[in-house]
Chain A
Amino acid sequence: MPMPETLLHTSLHDRHVALGARMVPFAGWEMPVQYAGVIAEHRAVRTDAGVFDVSHMGELEVEGPRARDLLRSALSNDVDRLSLAEAQYTLLTNEDGGIVDDLIVYRVGDCSYLLVVNAANREIDYAWLKEREIHGSDVRDVSDECALLAVQGPRAIERLGLPSAPPFTYAEAVLDGVEVMVNRTGYTGEDGCELLCMTEDAVQLWDAVLERGVVPCGLGARDTLRLEVCYPLHGNDIGPDTDAISAGLGWVCALDKEFEGVDVLRTVKAEGPERRLVAFVMEDKAIPRQGMPIEGGGEVTSGSHSPMLEVGIGLGYVPTAQASPGTELTIDVRGRPRRARVVKKPIYERED
Chain B
Amino acid sequence: MTAAESYPDDLRYHSEHDWARVEGDEATLGITWFAADALGELVHFEPPEVGANVTKDQSYGEVESVKAVSDVIAPLSGEVVAVNGHVIDAPETVNDDPYGDGWLIRVLLSDPGEVAALLDADAYRQVLESQ
State the Cβ distance, B96 to closest chain A Cβ, in Å: 12
Chain B hits for A286, CB < 8 A: 44, 46
Cross-chain contact of A38 among B2, B40, B62, B64 (Cβ < 8 A): B40
Chain B hits for A34, CB < 8 A: 40
Chain A: which residue is nearest B38 at the CB level? A22
A: contact size bracket:
10 to 19
Whether a CB of chain B sits under 8 angstroms from the CB of A135 is no
With contacts defined as CB atoms under 8 Å apart, how many contacts are there between chain A and chain B in the complex? 38
- Residues B88 and A285 in contact, CB atoms below 8 Å apart: yes
- Residues A38 and B41 in contact, CB atoms below 8 Å apart: yes
State the Cβ distance, A42 to closest chain B Cβ, in Å: 8
Chain A hits for B88, CB < 8 A: 285
Cross-chain contact of A39 among B46, B62, B64, B66 (Cβ < 8 A): B66
Residue from B2, B44, B65, B66 whose CB has the most chain A CB atoms within 10 Å:
B66
- Residues A224 and B66 in contact, CB atoms below 8 Å apart: yes
Chain B: which residue is nearest A289 at the CB level? B69
A304-B66, A305-B66, A334-B62 in contact; A37/B40 too (CB < 8 A)?
Answer: yes
Chain B: which residue is nearest A39 at the CB level? B41
Cross-chain contact of A285 among B41, B44, B65, B66 (Cβ < 8 A): B44
State the Cβ distance, B85 to closest chain A Cβ, in Å: 12
Count contacts on B: residues with CB < 8 A to the other chain. Answer: 13
Chain A hits for B2, CB < 8 A: 37
Whether a CB of chain B sits under 8 angstroms from the CB of A87 is no
A287, B69: Cα distance in complex, Å: 9
Whether a CB of chain A sits under 8 angstroms from the CB of B11 is no
A281, B66: Cα distance in complex, Å: 15
**B7-53 at interface with A (beta carbon < 8 Å):** 40-41, 43-44, 46
A312, B62: Cα distance in complex, Å: 15
A112, B128: Cα distance in complex, Å: 55
Scan A51-92; emit 1 where CB is below 8 A from any B CB, else 0: 000000000000000000000000000000000000000000
Chain B hits for A37, CB < 8 A: 2, 40-41
A310, B43: Cα distance in complex, Å: 8
A220, B66: Cα distance in complex, Å: 8
A104, B65: Cα distance in complex, Å: 31
Chain A hits for B69, CB < 8 A: 287, 289, 334
State the Cβ distance, A110 to closest chain B Cβ, in Å: 45
State the Cβ distance, B91 to closest chain A Cβ, in Å: 9
Chain B: which residue is nearest A220 at the CB level? B67
Chain A hits for B43, CB < 8 A: 39, 287, 305, 310
**Which 5 pairs between the two chains have the least Cβ-Cβ distance?**
A305-B43, A38-B66, A305-B66, A287-B64, A287-B44
Beyond A285-B44, A285-B88, A287-B64, 8 extra complex contacts between A and B, CB < 8 Å: A33-B67, A37-B2, A37-B41, A39-B41, A224-B66, A304-B66, A305-B66, A307-B66
